[in-house]
């Protein structure tokens, strides 16, 4: 029995989720400066060229997504709810992402003036700056999660070992990840500093009538079921089935949200061989539940595994049901696209793309033994 199964009702927040690849004995420093972590959003939208929504593609440095949304609303003289974005991006990075602002009956603002309200002096290292790269009118607002992918260019510095051999090992590891993928864990950002979002989730479940903003409530609920997902995925790694079929599984098409049930009988069959081939070619991925009401797609061994883990934390199990969240499925594996790596002096640079909701830090965790 794995140590994961030994967790009962108390949440062990120091639990180290299992990894897939053998650790390489090399550590590195992440985000020595904002330019070491570059993220670019990609969407697939044909703009109408007219409408009350103004879409902006903004390159920002040293500022978080929600704060930029506040500044856009303030500049346009509208309420913050009029400003939308597809996903949150790190403050300590250089990120290009889409925003939309609803401006009914209003002309397109002079965005150059908005840019000047931010500090242009990035030599200080922590200065905030934005640049409006593109602007389009459209008849619809930008929806959360409405992304095609995120592309990352990440520079790792101060490696603990800069020998030729270790750089070759790092390159080979990146090639393996590009072929076989990594566990699709939620990153630590999801759980807040010192796991505060999980602490707040437990408080919410113990006192459901406690008043808080809708945004915070959603954040805490998401943290709780993300933690359950990570526990399930870690146990699948422990059993060697994170990227393989487990009877009763639900599979997700690569790059899609569409799922289908495992209806294969226990006997070796043509259908089972077909599933195995599709898994081996990364066409489909096993999934685990994002816990909530209606988790009825999964059956058999896969359902037993999920229930075994979820039942160990009844405060989350029952709290998420009481909150009336509907269950969803998330792929257990993610395969980075266009994965490239190269040495630049004593630094190591990686670039790859991920679907929305997947974490670049979880890719790096399978490359380096430690990041600081």
Domain with residue 207: its CATH number is 3.30.2340.10
Ordered DSSP codes for 118-177: S---GGGSS--EEEEEEEEEESSPPPTT--SEEEEEEEEES-S---HHHHHHHHHHHHHH
In a domain, 11, yes or no: yes
pLDDT at 4: 37
In a domain, 48, yes or no: yes
CB atoms near residue 228 (< 10 Å): 21
Domain co-membership, 11 together with 59: no
Rounded CA-CA distance 332/198 in Å is: 21
Task: State pTM to two decimals.
Answer: 0.89
pLDDT at 144: 87
Instruction: Give the number of domains in the chain.
Output: 2
Instruction: Check if the beta carbon of residue 279 is closer than 8 Å to that of residue 268.
Output: no
In a domain, 166, yes or no: no
Domain co-membership, 20 together with 130: no
Of 349, 210, 241, residue with least CA distance to 305: 241
pLDDT at 40: 96
Pairing of strands 94-102, 37-42: parallel
pLDDT at 265: 60
Q: Tell me the pLDDT tens digit for each residue of 163-201.
A: 999 999 999 999 999 999 999 999 998 999 889 999 999
Domain co-membership, 199 together with 306: yes
Q: At what angle do helices 214-238 and 196-206 cross, to 10 degrees?
A: 110
Domain co-membership, 138 together with 98: yes
Domain co-membership, 20 together with 51: no
pLDDT at 119: 58
CB atoms near residue 35 (< 10 Å): 13
Domain co-membership, 319 together with 198: yes
pLDDT at 13: 57
Domain co-membership, 204 together with 322: yes
In a domain, 163, yes or no: no
Q: Tell me the pLDDT tens digit for each residue of 23-51.
A: 899 999 999 999 999 999 999 899 999 99
Domain co-membership, 194 together with 323: yes
**Per annotation, catalytic residue among 90, 254, 301, 347:** 90
Domain co-membership, 220 together with 112: no
In a domain, 365, yes or no: no
Domain co-membership, 289 together with 324: yes
Of 297, 303, 292, residue with least CA distance to 258: 297
Name residues of the chain where pLDDT drops below 70: 1-15, 119-126, 264-268
pLDDT at 14: 54
90 is a catalytic site residue: yes
Domain extent, residue 81, equals 44-146
């Amino acid at each position: 029995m794995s140590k994961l199964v030994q967790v009962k009702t108390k949440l062990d927040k120091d639990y180290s989720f299992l990894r897939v690849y053998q650790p390489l004995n090399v550590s590195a420093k992440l985000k020595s400066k904002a330019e070491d972590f570059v993220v670019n959003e990609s969407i697939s939208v044909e703009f109408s060229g007219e409408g009350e929504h103004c879409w902006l593609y903004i390159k920002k440095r040293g500022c978080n997504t929600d704060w930029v949304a506040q500044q856009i609303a303030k500049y346009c003289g509208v309420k913050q709810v009029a400003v939308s974005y597809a996903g949150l991006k790190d403050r300590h990075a250089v990120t290009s992402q889409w925003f939309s602002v609803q401006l009914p009956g209003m002309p397109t603002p002079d965005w150059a003036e908005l840019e000047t309200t931010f500090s242009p002096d990035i030599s200080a290292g922590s200065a905030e700056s934005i640049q409006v790269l593109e602007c389009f009118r459209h008849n619809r607002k930008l929806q959360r999660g409405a992304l095609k992918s995120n592309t990352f260019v990440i520079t790792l510095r101060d490696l603990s070992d800069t020998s030729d051999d270790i750089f070759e090992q790092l390159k080979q590891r990146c090639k393996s990840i590009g072929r076989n993928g990594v566990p699709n864990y939620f990153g630590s950002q999801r759980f807040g500093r010192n796991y505060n979002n999980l602490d707040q989730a437990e408080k919410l479940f113990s006192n459901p009538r406690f008043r808080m903003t809708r945004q915070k409530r959603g954040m805490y609920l998401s943290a709780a079921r993300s933690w359950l997902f990570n526990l399930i995925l870690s146990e699948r790694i422990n059993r060697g089935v994170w990227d393989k079929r487990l009877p009763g599984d639900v599979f997700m098409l690569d790059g899609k949200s569409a799922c289908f049930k495992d209806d294969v009988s226990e006997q070796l069959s043509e259908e089972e061989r077909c599933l195995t081939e599709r898994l081996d070619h990364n066409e489909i991925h096993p999934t685990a539940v994002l816990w909530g009401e209606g988790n009825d797609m999964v059956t058999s061994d896969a359902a037993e595994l999920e229930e075994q883990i979820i039942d160990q934390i009844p405060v989350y199990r029952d709290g998420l049901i009481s909150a009336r969240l509907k269950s969803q499925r998330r792929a257990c594996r993610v395969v980075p696209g266009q994965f490239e790596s190269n040495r630049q002096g004593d630094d190591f640079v990686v670039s790859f793309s991920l679907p929305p909701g997947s974490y670049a830090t979880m890719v790096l965790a399978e490359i380096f033994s430690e990041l600081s």
